[in-house]
Amino acid sequence: MSSIIIDVNQLTKKFKEFSAVDHVSFQVNSGEIFAFLGPNGAGKTTTIKMLTTLLLPTSGTISLNWFNPVTQQDQARASFGIVFQDPSLDDELTAYENMEFHGVLYHVPQSLRKQRIEELLNIVDLWERKDQLIKTFSGGMKRRLEIARGLVHHPKIFFLDEPTIGLDPQTRNQMWDYVAKLNQKENITVFFTTHYMEEAERIAQRLAIIDHGKIIAHGSVEDLKNLTQTSTLEAAFLKLTGKAIREEEANPSEQMRLHRQMWRGRK
């Protein structure tokens, strides 16, 4: 009954000899909340980047809302909204200006834009602060604003790349409430990654686990628990991916991220 809105087939991304994503295939049904899990460096972010047109696949195919992100870039882009792992708001602009900017980029007509911005800012409880600069916002407020912003153009699919990292439990809960509400009300397909297994267990209807660039499990939370004979998703996850800690080499953006956190602390 449900149709497939994200269809990934044998997707591969090689960086020189290293396969970050290795013949990955999975499907996401329209209207479902789908979690994409995996240890550090497993290939999650690389996969999201390919789905969202930021990175070209080495081979394999993607269908996103029936568009091909490689050949039908603009249609594919108009189909989704995204919250990146790193905040991508403009600190020197106000909340309203950030929303407005997004609306213009996605060609939302002016009157509709105004109406949607007001509606969304109210949903995430930021309407009162619409004229404040982002640099005065807390981490949780920024996240909420990013969620609202990603929805200004009414996307069919919403990508959230570790959206709750660095947030306190209250904010995390609240954030997932918003997302679940949106999923139900607007029938938006949600595709998210997280390191918090209890979040995935609670929110996701189906999920896939990726490790070393390959999908190692795929199904509902119950399917995974049954498969591994465990009682929680976390236990299932550890059984599937092993307990060894993954060391990630610091790449330039990792270094910049550290640098940035340092500077933020000083202000």
Partner 1 sequence: MSTIYILWLRQIKRYLRSRSRIIGSLGQPLLFLVALGFGLGPIFQKAGGGNYIDFLAPGVIAQGILFTAIFAGIELIWDRQFGFLKETLVAPVSRFEIMLGRTLGGATIATFQGIIIFGLTLLVGFRPYNLWLLPMGLVIMFIIALFFTGVGTAIASFLDDMQGFQLIMNFLVLPLFFLSGALFPLKGAPDFLSLSAKLNPLTYGVDALRDVLSNITQFGIILDISVLGVLTLLILVLGSYLFSKIQI
Amino acid identity for residue 179 in this structure = V
Residue 84 interacting with partner 1 (CB under 8 A): yes
**Nearest approach, Cβ of 87 to partner 1 (angstroms)?**
7
Residue 9 interacting with partner 1 (CB under 8 A): no
- CA proximity to 213, closest of 59, 87, 66, 64: 59
Beta-carbon contacts of residue 62 (< 8 Å; ≥ 6 apart): 6, 7, 8, 9, 11, 50, 51, 68, 69, 70
Residue 4 interacting with partner 1 (CB under 8 A): no
Give the residue with the Cβ less far from partner 1, 64 or 126. Answer: 64
Which residues are bridge partners to 137 per DSSP? none
Residue 77 interacting with partner 1 (CB under 8 A): yes
Give the residue with the Cβ less far from partner 1, 169 or 252. Answer: 252
Residue 154 token pair = 């009414």
Listed as own residue / partner, the contacts of 230-237 with beta carbons closer than 8 Å and 24 or more positions apart are 232/197, 232/198, 232/201, 233/197, 233/198, 233/200, 233/201, 234/197, 234/198, 234/201, 237/37, 237/197, 237/209
Single out the residue of 66, 106, 127, 196 in contact with partner 1 (rule: CB under 8 A): 106
**Nearest approach, Cβ of 221 to partner 1 (angstroms)?**
29
Q: One symbol per residue from 233 to 252: x for binding partner 1 (CB under 8 A), - otherwise; what is it?
A: -------------------x
> For binding to partner 1 (CB under 8 A), which residues are involved?
49, 52-56, 73-75, 77-78, 80, 82, 84, 86-90, 92-93, 97, 100-102, 104-107, 133, 149, 252-253, 255-257, 259-260
